[in-house]
């Protein structure tokens, strides 16, 4: 079935280049009205060039679609409100938010300056909060919302030299795990993407052929589906790139239960380490409460 976005309104942050641009164009081609946010900085977060967002807005309009630009920074709290206000004024609703804006300050841990740390947290973490915080009341009132957060292989598995970036991208997964619960009764789904694409962010590490095989258009279909009304799943971590689509998942393994009748020693942990770290029988959890309930259920002394 064709995924149709007629009447839907989407905010795509960092949509002046790379992946965000591709999401914005594809959503608009399927009928969505799109707010194209982009500060227009370089990949390290310096500078601002209004042209980045405006070019994408013009592309959408010349193809017959509807779009407006927002040239502010995602990490500016007031600009988060402004993006929502612009959509409400122009189109009266917001259905979709894709938090995609991103930069890099790759360095080994001992070389990361305080500024390198802060700017990565500002763009990837505060930048995600600033827009979602302001759109959340609209979602609750509408009883509808679709969110795709942008994580990274660095956030879920870790990449050498990306301590700041990996930490910020992991924070997005923590945010998803909470918001998937808070959004549930309002028909708001919150999913995460770990993309792999040839963009200016990755240009230095890819040759021409690889860039073609990894163009953003190989990632975009996963994002478009997760933004659609047809997708009811929430809390998914999806890796997409170069023709690959898969789910990644955090799991809890059954481990071993010592019980609470006596205190376990470090030697007891040493003896049982193999079973503690075994993944046999591991399953995903929906929330933190579930894991605490399982602790209690396994403790005979708490269950009579
Ligand atoms: N390309 C990949 O393989 C890859 C892998 C993992 C994660 N990601 C993530 O995907 C997202 C998109 O990356 P991309 O590869 O398309 O990079 P890109 O540099 O092509 O696009 C990112 C855009 O974000 C904008 N931006 C940066 N800081 C901003 C801010 N403060 N406010 C508003 N806009 C801002 C930039 O101007 C740029 O247009 C990023 O979050 C990135 O971390 C990309």
Alpha carbon of 268 to ligand 1 centroid (Å): 47
List 23, 77, 165, 186, catalytic entry: 165
Q: How far is the CA of 137 from the centre of ligand 1 (A)?
A: 26
Check whether 152 has a pLDDT greater than 90: yes
Quick one: pLDDT band at residue 297, thresholds 50, 70, 90? confident
pLDDT (average), residues 179-198: 97
Q: Could you list the residue range(s) of the whole structural domain that residue 304 is in?
A: 251-304
**C-alpha span between 145 and 232 (Å, rounded):** 11
Q: What is the CATH number of the domain that holds 132?
A: 3.40.50.720
H/E segment holding residue 146? strand 145-150
Positive or negative: CA dihedral 123, 142, 195, 170: positive
Residue 153 and residue 270 share a domain: no
Instruction: Say if CB 165 and CB 106 are below 8 A apart.
Output: yes
Active site residue 144: no
Helix/strand/coil percent split, the chain, to 5: 45, 15, 40
78 and 110 both lie in a single domain: yes
CA of 257 to the centre of ligand 1 (A): 44
Which atom of ligand 1 has the smallest separation from the CA of 104?
A: 43
Q: What is the pLDDT of residue 126?
A: 98
Look at residue 303 and tell me if it is in a domain.
yes
Do residues 114 and 241 share a domain? Answer: yes
In a domain, 182, yes or no: yes
- Selected residue with higher pLDDT from 117 and 201: 117
Closest C-alpha among 16, 78, 98, 75 to residue 50: 16
Residue with CA at minimum distance from ligand 1 atom 41: 102
Say whether both 221 and 273 belong to one domain. no
Residue with tokens 């740390």: 117
The answer to whether residue 92 sits within a structural domain is yes
CB-CB neighbours of 217 under 10 Å? 12
- Residue of the nearest CA to atom 6 in ligand 1? 152
Q: In this predicted model, what pLDDT tens digit does every residue of 12-40 receive, in sequence order? A: 999 999 999 999 999 999 999 999 999 99
| Res. 268 pLDDT band, cuts 50 70 90 | very high
Tell whether 124 and 146 lie within a shared domain.
yes
**Structure confidence at residue 303 (pLDDT):** 46
* Average pLDDT for the chain: 95
Tell me which residue of 171, 163, 77, 157 sits closest to 117, measured CA to CA: 163
Q: Are 169 and 116 in contact (CB under 8 A)?
A: no
3-state class of 162 per DSSP? Answer: strand
1 within some domain: no
pLDDT tens digits, one per residue of 89-100? 999 999 999 999
Same domain for 226 and 159: yes
Work out how many domains the chain is built from and give that number. 2
pLDDT band for position 143 (50/70/90)? very high
Q: Tens digits of per-residue pLDDT, 202-250?
A: 877 778 888 888 999 999 999 999 999 999 999 999 999 999 999 999 9
Please answer whether residues 15 and 37 qualify as being in contact, where contact means their C-beta atoms are separated by less than 8 angstroms.
yes
* Residues 15 and 154 placed together within one structural domain of the fold: yes
Residue in 76, 102, 164, 194 to alter for ligand 1 test, most ligand atoms within 8 A of Cβ? 102
Enumerate residues lining ligand 1, CB below 6 A. 13-14, 16-20, 37-41, 43, 45, 52, 73-75, 100-103, 123, 127, 150, 152, 195-197, 199-202
Give the ligand 1 atom nearest the CA of 123. Answer: 31
In a domain, 90, yes or no: yes
Rounded-to-integer distance, Cα 45 and Cα 32, Å: 29
Residues 222 and 258 occupy one common structural domain: no
In which region does residue 303 sit, left (phi positive, over 0), alpha (psi from -120 to 50) or beta (all else)? Answer: alpha
Q: At what angle do helices 51-62 and 18-29 cross, to 10 degrees?
A: 20
In a domain, 62, yes or no: yes
Give the angle 282-148-9 at the CA atoms, nearest 5°. Answer: 150
Note whether 150 and 257 are same-domain residues. no
Q: Which two structure tokens, joined as six digits, stand for 82?
A: 């402004």
Q: Which residue is closest in CA terms to ligand 1's atom 25?
A: 14
Task: DSSP for 182-213, please give it.
Answer: HTGGGTEEEEEEEE---STTTGGG--HHHHHH
The pTM is what? Answer: 0.96
What's the pLDDT tens digit per position in 107-125? 999 999 999 999 999 999 9
* Residue 124 sits in the same domain as residue 218: yes
Q: Which residues are paired to 35 by β-bridges?
A: 11, 68
Quote the pLDDT of residue 299: 63
The secondary structure of residue 265, as a DSSP letter, is P
């Amino acid at each position: 079935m064709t995924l149709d976005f007629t009447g839907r309104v989407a905010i795509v942050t960092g949509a002046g280049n790379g992946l965000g641009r591709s999401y914005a164009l594809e959503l608009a081609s399927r009928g969505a009205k799109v707010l194209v946010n982009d500060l227009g900085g370089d990949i390290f977060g310096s500078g601002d060039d209004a042209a980045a967002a405006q070019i994408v807005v013009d592309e959408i309009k010349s193809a017959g679609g509807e779009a407006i630009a927002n040239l502010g920074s995602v990490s500016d709290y007031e600009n988060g409100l402004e993006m929502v206000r612009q959509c409400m004024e122009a189109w009266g609703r917001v259905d979709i938010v894709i938090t995609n804006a991103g930069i890099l300050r790759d360095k080994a841990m001992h070389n990361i300056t305080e500024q390198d740390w802060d700017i990565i947290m500002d763009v990837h973490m505060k930048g995600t909060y600033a827009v979602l915080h302001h759109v959340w009341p609209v979602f609750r009132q509408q009883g509808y919302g679709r969110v795709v957060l942008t994580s990274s292989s660095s956030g879920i598995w870790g990449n050498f030299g990306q301590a700041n970036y990996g930490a910020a991208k992991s924070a997005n997964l923590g945010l998803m795990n909470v918001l998937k619960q808070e959004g549930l009764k309002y028909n708001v789904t919150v999913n995460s993407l770990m993309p792999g694409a040839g963009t200016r962010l990755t240009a230095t590490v890819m040759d021409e052929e690889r860039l073609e095989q990894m163009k953003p258009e190989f990632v975009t279909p996963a994002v478009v589906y997760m933004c659609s009304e047809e997708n009811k799943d929430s809390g998914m971590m999806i890796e997409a790139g170069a023709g690959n689509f898969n789910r990644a998942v955090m799991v809890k393994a059954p481990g071993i239960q010592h019980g609470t009748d006596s205190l376990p020693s470090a030697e007891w942990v040493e003896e049982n380490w193999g079973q503690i770290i075994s993944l046999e029988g591991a399953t995903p959890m929906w929330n933190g409460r579930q894991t605490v309930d399982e602790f209690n259920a396994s403790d005979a002394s708490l269950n009579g």
